[in-house]
Amino acid sequence: MQIGMDAGGSLTKIVTIRDGLREYRMTDLDGAVDLARTLSGYDRVYLTGCRAGVLEAHLPDNLKDRVHRINELEAFWAGAHEMLSSEGRPSHSFVLVAFGTGTSVFTVLNGKGTRTAGTAVGGGTLTGLSRLLIGTCDFETIMDLASRGNRHRVDLMVSDLYPDAKTSPVLNELTASNFGSVEIEQASKEDIASAVLQLVVETIAVISIQVARAHRMDTIVIAGSPSRHPLVRERFKELGALLGHDFFAFLEHGPYCGALGAVITGKRS
C-alpha cells in the first residue's frame, strides 16, 4: 500500500494506491497532518509540495526510512502524463498548466516536462481579491456568485471602446481592461466575483496559448484544484474560442497530478 501527498499552499491532495487501485481525496493542511500521524501501515509514502516538510515531521517514527520527497514540478507533469495516457488521450506533446495558488506552465514532450512560463496569478489571487472585494474567500461561494454575475459591469470591453465591435460576437466579449468599466461602482457582488474569475482565467489562458503557439503544440491541459469546477472549465473554453485556440483539455482527476506523480517519480528513483 502506497500513498502520495501533495501539500500545496491551500490544499493537500492525496492519492492512495491499494492493489493497483487509486483512491483520491482532498483536505486542508490540518486534515493532512492528522492523516499523516496514522500512516504506520504504508509500504511507501511519497511527499511533494511546498508544505511536504510539515507532513513529514508528523509521520510515525517507523515510516522515516520509507518516505520519499519529490520535486513538485517534476511530480506534477509526471502525474499529468500518466493521467492522459490512462484516459486514452494523446500524450506525446502538450502544454500543461498547473493552476494552483499560483500558476506554472510546462511543455511536456515524450513524457518529460520543462517549466516554460508562469505567473503569480492563480487560485490565491481568486480567493484573495474576493476576500477584499466581496467579503468571502470560500471557493464554492465565489463560484456561485460568479455564475450569477455580469462582468461587463466591471470590465471595460473592446466593444465599449469601438462601438462597431458590438455587432461582432467575438469582439463584444473580448476584454480591453480588467476592472476598467466606468460603471464599476454600480457592480454587485455577483458581478465582481465574475470579473475576478475572468481576470484569473484570462491571464492563465493568454499565457498558456502563447506558450502553445511558440512551441507548436495544439493541446493545453489545465490541471490543479480550481480546474475541477465546471464554471472554471467553461471560462477556459469560452476564451479558447475567442482567442482561436479550441484545444483546452481537463483531466478527470486533474487536481491530483502532483500526488500521483510523486508516487510515479518516487518509484522510478
pLDDT tens digits along 24-75: 999 999 999 999 998 888 888 999 999 999 999 988 888 888 899 999 989 9
Comparing 45-54, 89-98, 198-207, 226-235, the range with the smallest average pLDDT is 89-98
Residue pair 45/66 in contact by the 8 Å Cβ criterion: yes
Given a cut of 80, whether residue 245 has pLDDT beyond it is yes
Comparing 63-67, 88-92, 218-222, 263-267, the range with the smallest average pLDDT is 88-92
Residue 268's pLDDT band, with cuts at 50, 70 and 90, is: confident
Most confident of 7-11, 86-90, 254-258: 254-258
Q: And the C-alpha cell for 20?
A: 493497483
pLDDT score for 247:
85
Q: How far apart are CA 238 and CA 235, in angstroms?
A: 5
pTM, two decimal places? 0.89
Q: Residues, the chain, total?
A: 269
Report the percent of the chain where pLDDT is more than 70: 98
The pLDDT tens digits for 151-208 are 999 999 988 888 776 677 677 788 999 999 999 999 999 999 999 999 999 999 999 9
Nearest one of 115, 77, 71 to 269, comparing CA atoms: 71
pLDDT score for 166:
67
Higher-confidence residue of 269 and 84: namely: 84
Q: Annotated catalytic sites, by residue?
A: 72
Distances in Å between the alpha carbon of 255 and those of 42, 77, 224, 258, 259?
Answer: 23, 12, 4, 8, 9
Comparing 4-8, 14-18, 64-68, the range with the smallest average pLDDT is 64-68
Domains in the chain, please, with CATH? 2-72+256-268 (3.30.420.40), 123-250 (3.30.420.40)
Distances in Å between the alpha carbon of 79 and those of 219, 238, 248?
Answer: 17, 26, 18
Given a cut of 70, whether residue 221 has pLDDT beyond it is yes
